[in-house]
Structure 1
Amino acid sequence: MSMKRLPWEGGCRCGRVRIEVSAPPLVTMACHCTGCQRMTASTYSLSVAVPSEGFAVTKGDPVIGGLHGATRHYFCPHCMSWMFTRPEGMDWFVNLRATMLDDASWYTPFIETWTSEKLPWATTPAVHSYETIPAMEEYEDLLQEYAEWAGKPDS
């Protein structure tokens, strides 16, 4: 896989909220949980985990939606596109919906999670699959493996 050179820009469907990514992703994911199925009205959600310092909202003011709990899901207040998530207790990264990027043609999920809840016919090309989520002690190796798998951005 080869990703585009940084920075990346993106936005919601109507364009009222815009974002910029200036740091390489930590990992790419597909989540099959029923919550993601319902929030995307699809088989799974596609995410890019980005270091918090490499993520910025450059236009507009996203609002919290979804369950309104400790894990905060951010949406455009006008078109209601689900744009990104800030997981509870993990302020060091932002979970950006991959399809919010202006060009997501490089995107491939490296891991898929919550396969225990996936629709029977749903498949992805993910390298690693998990019935729920990876154990905390697996993340360091997964992130290192992803960095090697993803390679360097195109020039």
Structure 2
Amino acid sequence: MTDLSDLSAYTNNPVPLPITGGCACGALRYSIDAQPLIALQCHCVYCQKISGTGHGCFVVTPGEAATTTGEAREFTYVADSGGTSFRYFCPQCSAMVFAKLSRHPETFVVAAASLDDRENYRPSVTVFAKEATSWDPPAPGLTLFTEGLG
């Protein structure tokens, strides 16, 4: 993965810990005891289809710092990066809560909308910008990557 320290909005502006969040009904929860590595917007086709919008919004954190409670349903697919993406949804309310990536097994990726304090979502990067739609272009001011972070 690309060195994120120069790209991250969290390097010089940490958030209160733990970072907590969960699904819409509260049955699937997580807690993270480490600062996020980065927050991003992803415009890949899978994120568009899974989110029902033009992009997905995510906070990437160290995997060893994350714990989950509750049952999760897994959806697995080969991502545009060529790696396998594991998306975890609540079986009760169907909200997508977190993801794991085969290419970055050391990370735990949370859906920004699942954060209890959504102000902790500070995107600095857009990935798969080449797949952005004309009706949902990348947000201004973010560093653009035509593909993933590596």
TM-score past 0.5 threshold: yes
Q: Which runs of 5+ in 1 are unaligned?
A: 137-155
Which of structure 1's runs of 4+ aligned residues deviate more than 6 A?
Answer: none
Q: Which amino acid aligns with 1:48?
A: V
Shift of 1:71: 2.2
Letter in 1 for 2:134: P
Q: CA, structure 1 residues 99+132, in 2 after alignment: closer, same or farther (shift >3 Å)? A: same
Kept after mapping to 2: 8 A contact 1:108/1:126:
no
Among 59, 63, 73, the alignment partner of 2:73 is 63
TM-score, with length taken from structure 2 = 0.81
Q: How many angstroms does 1:4 deviate by?
A: 3.1
Distance 1:4 1:54 in 2: 14
2-structure distance, mates of 1:115, 1:129: 6
Query: Which residue pairs with 2:51 in the alignment?
Result: 40
Contact 1:32 1:114 in 2 (8 A): yes
Q: Percent identity?
A: 26
2:115 to 94, 97, 101: 101
1:87 counterpart (101, 117, 139) = 101
**Equivalent position amino acid for 1:132 in 2:** E
RMSD: 1.9
Verify the 8 A CA contact 1:74 1:83 in the aligned structure 2.
yes
Moved more, 38-47 or 104-113: 104-113
Q: Which runs of 5+ in 2 are unaligned?
A: 1-8
Residue 91 of structure 1: how far off its partner (Å): 1.6
Change (3 A) 1:126 1:96: farther
Tell me the residue number matched to 1:14.
Answer: 25
2: CA distance between counterparts of 1:62 and 1:125? 34
1:24 aligns with 2:35: yes
SS state at 1:42 partner: coil
1:124 to partner: Cα distance: 1.4
Equivalent position SS for 1:35? helix
Q: Which has the higher mean CA deviation after the structures are superposed, 60-69 or 23-32?
A: 60-69
Q: Would the aligned equivalents of 1:76 and 1:82 in 2 still touch at CA under 8 Å?
A: yes
1:127 alignment counterpart: 142
Specify which structure has the higher proportion of strand.
Answer: 2
Match of 2:6 in 1: none
Structure 1 or 2: more helix by fraction: 1
